[in-house]
Amino acid sequence: MSDEQQFEKRMKKLKSSYHEMPSFSSIDKITKEIAEKETMESIHKISHKKKWFRIGGTAAAICIGVLLIMNTMFSNTDQFANESLEWTEEEAASQKNEAKENTMQTELAPPKAHQYDIAETDRPLIKVDTIQIEGIPEQKTFHLYKNEELGFSTYYPDDMIVGVESTEQEKSVTFFADFNEVSQKNTFIRFQLLPNHLEPSIESAANYVEAAYGSSQLTKKPQHDEFYLSEIEYEFTTRQANKVINGWISLFTHHNQIYILTVQYVPEVGEALEGRTNYILNQMVWEE
């Protein structure tokens, strides 16, 4: 397209625009159109705002509803949690009381191994008393033990364990140490009947003991000061598993039966065992 053609085209557009322009004398019309236009824009804006208000209000209502539902859910959850916690605490308290009762039963009831040997008696099954442990008074709980084959009952402290043998070859009861981390097998107090196949005499019991320990390890005591029924008493020192073991043995007769009482211990707990031994021996009651 040539420059002249472009110029003519522009002139036509300009002339057309000129004829479309309103007359300056139509001021009222122009003002009215402007006012109407502004009014329509205002209405449009207000309508737009109301629309957003409606949308916003609806959204807000939905959000509030959701929050209320969530709050109710969390409230119920908290209530359930609190109820669960309270139930758990109550259950824990119940379990604790039950455990305490079981513990008391464990602490106070004689061990199952002993119940077989406890016969009916007027003596209380449990009592609390004070004994001298290495020169210091100490309160302890004591359990009743009764053995009909050996013919006596006595009390032993709760830090000792009872072992029983009842066979044709041996009838005995042994109170093993269970304190100061002492090995039970080498610290104990044992009452034993002379085996049935041996002649029922003190001399026979002495031969039996000397053969078991070896006469070189035993020293016969000139005085019987360990047990009030003693007819013969020995002191001994031996070794077991590279440990020095000390002790004493009493042979005595009661109700036509020959008894061997053995007390042995590792040296470091000799005094601790002595107080317990004295109590067991002093609490002995013979069955008539």
Q: How many CA within 13 A on the CB side of residue 177?
A: 24
Say if 6 falls within a structural domain. Answer: no
Instruction: State whether 99 and 126 are in the same domain.
Output: no
- Domain containing 47 equals 12-106
Instruction: State whether 41 and 179 are in the same domain.
Output: no
Instruction: State whether 120 and 72 are in the same domain.
Output: no
Say if 1 falls within a structural domain. Answer: no
> What is the 8-class DSSP label of residue 169?
S
Say if 3 falls within a structural domain. Answer: no
List 152's β-bridge partners, or say none.
147, 286
Which of 111, 142, 138, 112 lies closest to 125 in space, CA to CA?
142
| pLDDT at residue number 119 | 47
Instruction: State whether 66 and 153 are in the same domain.
Output: no
Instruction: State whether 164 and 88 are in the same domain.
Output: no
Last residue of a domain, one of 60, 81, 106: 106
Instruction: State whether 280 and 158 are in the same domain.
Output: yes
Instruction: State whether 191 and 282 are in the same domain.
Output: yes
**Structure tokens belonging to residue 127:** 């009592």
Say if 175 falls within a structural domain. Answer: yes
Q: How far apart are CA 106 and CA 48, in angstroms?
A: 83
Say if 68 falls within a structural domain. Answer: yes
List 172's β-bridge partners, or say none.
165, 192
At a CB cut-off of 8 Å and minimum separation 6, what does 171 contact?
149, 150, 165, 192, 193
Last residue of a domain, one of 55, 86, 106: 106
What is the side-by-side strand order in the sheet with 152-157? 126-133, 136-147, 152-157, 285-286
State if pTM tops 0.85: no
Instruction: State whether 149 and 280 are in the same domain.
Output: yes
Last residue of a domain, one of 71, 106, 141: 106
Give SS3 for 194: coil
List 127's β-bridge partners, or say none.
142
For the chain, how many structural domains are there in total?
Answer: 2
| pLDDT at residue number 170 | 86
Instruction: State whether 234 and 261 are in the same domain.
Output: yes
Report the amino acid identity of residue 252.
F
Instruction: State whether 76 and 210 are in the same domain.
Output: no
| pLDDT at residue number 149 | 93
**Structure tokens belonging to residue 213:** 């320990």
| pLDDT at residue number 131 | 95
Say if 44 falls within a structural domain. Answer: yes
Along the 288 residues of the chain, how does pLDDT read in single tens digits? 555 666 566 666 555 544 444 444 444 554 455 456 555 655 554 444 444 444 455 555 554 554 555 555 444 444 433 443 333 445 444 444 443 333 333 233 334 344 334 445 689 999 999 999 988 999 999 999 999 999 999 999 999 999 999 988 889 999 999 987 766 788 999 999 999 999 999 999 999 999 988 866 899 998 888 999 999 999 999 888 788 999 999 999 999 999 999 999 999 889 999 999 999 999 999 987
Say if 282 falls within a structural domain. Answer: yes
Instruction: State whether 172 and 263 are in the same domain.
Output: yes
Instruction: State whether 130 and 240 are in the same domain.
Output: yes
Say if 4 falls within a structural domain. Answer: no
CATH number at residue 179: 3.40.1000.10
For the chain, the 3-state helix, strand and coil shares in percent, each to the nearest 5, are 45, 30, 25
Count of beta carbons in the 10 Å neighbourhood of residue 233: 20
| pLDDT at residue number 227 | 94
